[in-house]
Structure 1
Amino acid sequence: MTSPGTVGSPDGLTAAWLGRALATEVTSVTYEKVGSGQIGACYRLGLTTPDGPRRLIAKLAAEDPASRAFLGPAYRTEVSFYRDIAPTVAVRTPRCHYSALSEDSTTFVLLLDDAAPAVQGDQLGGCTPERAADAVVNLAALHGPRWCDPSLLDLPWLSLVTAEDAKGLDEVFAPAVETFIGRFGDALSEPDRATLREVARLVAPWVVGRSSRFGLVHGDYRLDNLLFPPDGDGVIAVDWQTLSLGHPVRDLAFFLGTGMDPAARAAGERALVAAYHEALTGHGVEDYGLEECFDDYRFAAVQGPLITVLGCAYGTPTERGDAMFLTMARRSLAMIRDLDTLSLI
């Protein structure tokens, strides 16, 4: 059966189209929108098939056609993750039943398992050490199987950060920091403003630092992109548009630094890094000791304000979004000071 390709809107997800995509008979379909849909649009599908009712999540391009050309690289990355990477790693993520990407990368379709009744994490509320432990072990299941795997460098849609990339980041990040500081004003403490500006000064050497170890980096591994089942075990990671290559521990520092209250993070981070490291070794990572991992975790803490400031600069402003970015900045900047991260750059 030939692939039915992509559709530009949920109206294209007809019973006939879905039947071709899933290689089964579909006699009826219903859909409802889920999520906010800033980068892509998600719909919960109810299908009637000969084997009984079936529920899937369909992920499509953003509703605004003008946004699609800009978002094309992100669409290509997510589709490529499910095609090329997901089968080779152990991270828990929804099973993909169908994927398609247009030649110009402006439209795509992913048909994924519906993870309900799992519930989305809350970036504003933060998470408990127990939930954090499950999340970091799942993160190691992304990093460990392809740790320093040279074949990743052969994938045309993934690449390591270059000196030219670092120069470009240096040019855009400092102005973004000043915009961020101006936007939030007195809501940012003087220590936070000072730390942000110091991060901006050092971000170029940081982003190319410690490059001898590399691997897959989710890039936005945070609570809003994690689904937690009601039984409390088996967190599921979603939203793979920002996958890249870099030091994998950046994901770990970003998750703990932005997702936990600073006091709780400081009290529990040694144990959480140890749980992550133990899981890494279980996936075959060798010659990487726990203390070296913790030192890399300290170094990687810059990932928190970097992603937070850039996300705020390029995202669509919302009330919850502003509250989230401010909270993430405060938490991650406290982490940088607690760990004396900037002295390592």
Structure 2
Amino acid sequence: MTARELRTDDLAIPLGPDGLTPEWLAAALSGPVPAAVDSVAVTPIGTGQTGATYRLTVGYAAPCDRPRSFVAKLPAQDGSVRAGVTLGYLAEVEFYSAVAHRTSVPVPRCHYSAINEDGSEYVLLLDDLDPAIQGDQLAGCDEETARRAVTALAGLHAPSWCDSSWLELPVGSMPKPGDSAAAGGLGQVVEMVAPAILERFGPFLDDTDRDTLRLALELMGPWLLTDTGRYALMHGDYRLDNLLLDADRLFVVDWQTLGVGLPARDLAYFIGTCLDPELRADAEQRLVAAYHAELLRHGVPGYDLKTCLADYRLGMLQGPLIIALGAAFATTTDRGDDLFRVMLRRSCRAIRELGTLELIRAAAAPA
């Protein structure tokens, strides 16, 4: 079953894990050969910051070659579903149902998807990729893992590189290039939440990082309006917690921040927030070169490494942007706060060492 053939029919969307019954799963999996589901054991997995994820262990009434387990994604179950979050649910279902098959990025197969009109109720039924395990954002990663991640990222960016058809993407959390109204609106959101972000995380940062964060938030509007002329599909929140890895495989999950923008924003966000600063400073040119080489292998024309490195430097404000939006809209958890603090320290240092704020000021200055 291809992505465009995913069924989004009148089967009731489960409102919680109790709705993931054998009867529901049998209907969701039905096709030329009926799925005789006898039992389903539902177990919560994941961090649950912007939704609820469950492993379904399935028993069948008769021997068959269907998967013995799946992963189901539902909205957050704590009553925290808000407008910014529902936009993410709409984006993720759109990705699996109409976008994934047009990319080369490794993702889990989607067996069923459904969402209501306003995005407050949805379900995704995905492959269970066990024994692949979730990356650990707090621990960070080594250079080899980072290389695997950035080369996989090229499989998202290259197939959509400067393809204007993606500017019509019906949903997305990131402003499209040239959309000054959307960019300005998102900049205003960041401006509104900036005092709360500084109050919440400032005490955990040293003076230098706190000043960097304040300046980055102040320049978010001009940064969002900067248009290099280069754009592609973006994951938006491309980091270790949104990767599943084992010795031989890497899969990208959690597509709620899908959008269109400067591709190197994803690259900068990953390298800037997932690597300890000393490793990042040592490895970043090699990692950017590996990403760039993979873009060329996928057929991206007219993009030299020098320009890619400049885009990488410019894209580093993706860290403060996603942290500010996440702190404003995601469910608050102890791990989430720890994660934001570590990411801010890594990101702020990268912004300083790469001269990102100076680049933004230069790009925003009148000709």
TM-score by length of 2: 0.88
Q: 1:306 to 1:343 in 2, by over 3 A?
A: same
Select the residue among 77, 92, 106 that pairs with 2:106.
92
- Cα RMSD (Å) of the superposition? 1.9
Select the residue among 88, 111, 118 that pairs with 1:104.
118
Equivalent residue, structure 2, for 1:11: 18
* Superposition deviation, residue 3 in structure 1: 5.2
Cα displacement string for residues 112-159 of structure 1 (whole angstroms, at most 9, x for unaligned residues): 000111111111111100100000011111111111111112332246
Q: Which amino acid aligns with 2:216?
A: V
Give the Cα–Cα distance (whole angstroms) in 1 for the partners of residues 331 and 171 of structure 2. 26
* Superposition deviation, residue 164 in structure 1: 2.2
Give the Cα–Cα distance (whole angstroms) in 2 for the partners of residues 65 and 174 of structure 1. 26
Quick one: percent identity of the two aligned structures? Answer: 49
Residue 302 (structure 2) pairs with residue 298 (structure 1): no
Cα displacement string for residues 170-191 of structure 1 (whole angstroms, at most 9, x for unaligned residues): 3332443332232234431221
Cα displacement string for residues 62-84 of structure 1 (whole angstroms, at most 9, x for unaligned residues): 21346266532211111110011
**SS of 1:39's equivalent?**
coil
Select the residue among 181, 185, 209 that pairs with 1:168.
185
* Superposition deviation, residue 327 in structure 1: 1.0
Residue 262 (structure 2) pairs with residue 252 (structure 1): no
Equivalent residue, structure 2, for 1:22: 29
Cα displacement string for residues 30-80 of structure 1 (whole angstroms, at most 9, x for unaligned residues): 211112323221111111233166110011122134626653221111111
- Work out whether residues 3 and 21 of structure 1, in 8 Å CA contact, stay in contact via their aligned partners in 2: no
- Work out whether residues 59 and 111 of structure 1, in 8 Å CA contact, stay in contact via their aligned partners in 2: yes
**SS of 1:124's equivalent?**
coil
List structure 1 segments (4+ residues) > 4 angstroms apart after TM superposition: none
Equivalent residue, structure 2, for 1:344: 359
Q: Which amino acid aligns with 2:27?
A: R
Residue 167 (structure 2) pairs with residue 153 (structure 1): yes
Q: Which amino acid aligns with 1:81?
A: F
The count of aligned residue pairs is: 343
- Work out whether residues 198 and 214 of structure 2, in 8 Å CA contact, stay in contact via their aligned partners in 1: no
Moved more, 258-267 or 163-172: 163-172
- Which runs of 5 or more residues in structure 1 are unaligned? none
Equivalent residue, structure 2, for 1:37: 48
Q: 1:185 to 1:203 in 2, by over 3 A?
A: closer
Equivalent residue, structure 2, for 1:73: 87
- Work out whether residues 192 and 334 of structure 1, in 8 Å CA contact, stay in contact via their aligned partners in 2: yes
Select the residue among 174, 194, 198 that pairs with 2:211.
194
Q: 1:166 to 1:95 in 2, by over 3 A?
A: same
Equivalent residue, structure 2, for 1:329: 344
- Which runs of 5 or more residues in structure 2 are unaligned? 1-6, 361-367
Q: Which amino acid aligns with 1:237?
A: V
Equivalent residue, structure 2, for 1:51: 64
Equivalent residue, structure 1, for 2:363: none
Give the Cα–Cα distance (whole angstroms) in 1 for the partners of residues 16 and 124 of structure 2. 13
Q: 1:19 to 1:289 in 2, by over 3 A?
A: same
- Work out whether residues 122 and 224 of structure 1, in 8 Å CA contact, stay in contact via their aligned partners in 2: yes
